[in-house]
Amino acid sequence: MCRDDDNYYVISEFLYGDLQDELEKQGRFNEHDTSHIINQVLLGTYYLHMRDVIHRDLKPANVLWGDAEKTFIKIADFGLAEEMPEGKTYYNKKVGTPHFKAPEMIKIMGKYNNKIDVWAIGVMAY
Protein backbone atom coordinates (compact mmCIF):
# COMPACT_ATOMS: atom_id res chain seq x y z
CA MET A 1 0.00 0.00 0.00
CA CYS A 2 1.21 3.49 -0.84
CA ARG A 3 -0.10 6.89 0.04
CA ASP A 4 0.43 10.55 -0.60
CA ASP A 5 -1.02 13.56 1.19
CA ASP A 6 -4.53 13.02 -0.21
CA ASN A 7 -4.83 9.37 -1.25
CA TYR A 8 -4.13 5.77 -0.34
CA TYR A 9 -3.18 3.42 -3.18
CA VAL A 10 -3.72 -0.31 -2.98
CA ILE A 11 -1.69 -2.30 -5.45
CA SER A 12 -2.88 -5.82 -6.11
CA GLU A 13 -2.25 -8.61 -8.51
CA PHE A 14 -3.94 -8.40 -11.91
CA LEU A 15 -6.32 -11.28 -12.54
CA TYR A 16 -7.93 -12.20 -15.83
CA GLY A 17 -11.64 -12.51 -15.11
CA ASP A 18 -13.71 -15.19 -13.44
CA LEU A 19 -15.04 -18.63 -14.21
CA GLN A 20 -18.63 -17.36 -14.42
CA ASP A 21 -17.81 -14.97 -17.25
CA GLU A 22 -15.95 -17.71 -19.11
CA LEU A 23 -18.88 -20.11 -18.71
CA GLU A 24 -21.22 -17.49 -20.13
CA LYS A 25 -18.91 -17.05 -23.14
CA GLN A 26 -18.25 -20.74 -23.83
CA GLY A 27 -21.46 -22.28 -22.56
CA ARG A 28 -19.54 -25.18 -21.02
CA PHE A 29 -16.06 -26.63 -20.63
CA ASN A 30 -14.86 -29.96 -21.93
CA GLU A 31 -14.14 -32.75 -19.45
CA HIS A 32 -10.38 -32.19 -19.45
CA ASP A 33 -10.64 -28.45 -18.69
CA THR A 34 -13.37 -29.04 -16.10
CA SER A 35 -11.31 -31.63 -14.24
CA HIS A 36 -8.29 -29.31 -14.26
CA ILE A 37 -10.30 -26.39 -12.85
CA ILE A 38 -12.16 -28.46 -10.24
CA ASN A 39 -8.90 -30.09 -9.12
CA GLN A 40 -7.44 -26.64 -8.45
CA VAL A 41 -10.57 -25.50 -6.59
CA LEU A 42 -10.43 -28.66 -4.48
CA LEU A 43 -6.76 -28.08 -3.68
CA GLY A 44 -7.44 -24.46 -2.73
CA THR A 45 -10.38 -25.48 -0.56
CA TYR A 46 -8.29 -28.20 1.09
CA TYR A 47 -5.70 -25.53 1.91
CA LEU A 48 -8.40 -23.38 3.53
CA HIS A 49 -9.91 -26.26 5.48
CA MET A 50 -6.51 -27.37 6.78
CA ARG A 51 -6.20 -23.87 8.22
CA ASP A 52 -9.70 -24.05 9.76
CA VAL A 53 -11.28 -21.60 7.29
CA ILE A 54 -14.68 -22.21 5.74
CA HIS A 55 -15.41 -20.13 2.60
CA ARG A 56 -19.24 -20.47 2.54
CA ASP A 57 -19.69 -18.84 -0.87
CA LEU A 58 -17.82 -20.94 -3.42
CA LYS A 59 -19.26 -20.38 -6.88
CA PRO A 60 -17.92 -19.73 -10.40
CA ALA A 61 -17.93 -15.95 -9.90
CA ASN A 62 -15.49 -16.41 -6.99
CA VAL A 63 -13.01 -18.46 -9.01
CA LEU A 64 -10.61 -16.12 -10.81
CA TRP A 65 -8.11 -16.79 -13.57
CA GLY A 66 -4.54 -16.27 -12.39
CA ASP A 67 -3.03 -16.00 -15.87
CA ALA A 68 -4.01 -15.01 -19.41
CA GLU A 69 -3.82 -18.63 -20.66
CA LYS A 70 -6.38 -19.65 -18.02
CA THR A 71 -4.20 -22.44 -16.70
CA PHE A 72 -4.52 -21.72 -12.99
CA ILE A 73 -7.16 -20.25 -10.73
CA LYS A 74 -7.42 -18.34 -7.49
CA ILE A 75 -10.29 -18.49 -5.03
CA ALA A 76 -11.64 -15.04 -4.16
CA ASP A 77 -14.28 -13.20 -2.10
CA PHE A 78 -13.76 -14.19 1.49
CA GLY A 79 -16.48 -11.83 2.75
CA LEU A 80 -18.53 -14.72 4.19
CA ALA A 81 -15.57 -16.87 5.22
CA GLU A 82 -15.06 -17.68 8.88
CA GLU A 83 -12.58 -19.47 11.01
CA MET A 84 -14.01 -22.80 12.02
CA PRO A 85 -11.91 -24.91 14.36
CA GLU A 86 -12.37 -28.66 14.04
CA GLY A 87 -15.55 -29.87 15.68
CA LYS A 88 -17.34 -26.52 15.57
CA THR A 89 -20.65 -26.23 13.72
CA TYR A 90 -22.71 -23.24 12.71
CA TYR A 91 -26.40 -23.01 13.41
CA ASN A 92 -28.93 -21.39 11.13
CA LYS A 93 -26.52 -18.92 9.49
CA LYS A 94 -28.05 -18.75 6.04
CA VAL A 95 -25.35 -17.14 3.96
CA GLY A 96 -24.03 -17.69 0.46
CA THR A 97 -25.55 -18.01 -2.98
CA PRO A 98 -28.78 -20.07 -3.04
CA HIS A 99 -27.92 -22.30 -6.03
CA PHE A 100 -24.68 -23.44 -4.40
CA LYS A 101 -25.96 -24.01 -0.85
CA ALA A 102 -25.82 -27.48 0.67
CA PRO A 103 -29.13 -28.90 1.96
CA GLU A 104 -28.02 -28.59 5.58
CA MET A 105 -27.64 -24.81 5.12
CA ILE A 106 -31.18 -24.50 3.86
CA LYS A 107 -32.88 -26.47 6.65
CA ILE A 108 -34.27 -24.47 9.54
CA MET A 109 -31.84 -24.76 12.43
CA GLY A 110 -29.59 -26.80 10.15
CA LYS A 111 -26.12 -27.52 11.43
CA TYR A 112 -23.31 -27.37 8.93
CA ASN A 113 -19.53 -27.44 8.76
CA ASN A 114 -16.82 -27.11 6.12
CA LYS A 115 -18.37 -29.89 4.02
CA ILE A 116 -20.70 -27.27 2.56
CA ASP A 117 -17.74 -25.97 0.54
CA VAL A 118 -17.33 -29.42 -1.00
CA TRP A 119 -21.04 -29.45 -1.91
CA ALA A 120 -20.63 -26.11 -3.71
CA ILE A 121 -17.67 -27.49 -5.67
CA GLY A 122 -19.82 -30.45 -6.71
CA VAL A 123 -22.49 -28.05 -7.98
CA MET A 124 -19.84 -26.15 -9.95
CA ALA A 125 -18.53 -29.39 -11.46
CA TYR A 126 -22.03 -30.41 -12.51
Enumerate the active-site residues.
Answer: 57
- The three state secondary structure string of the chain is CEECCCCEECCCCCCCCEHHHHHHHHCCCCHHHHHHHHHHHHHHHHHHHHCCEECCCCCHHHEEECCCCCCCEEECCCCCCEECCCCCCEECCCCCCHHHCCHHHHCCCCEECCHHHHHHHHHHHC
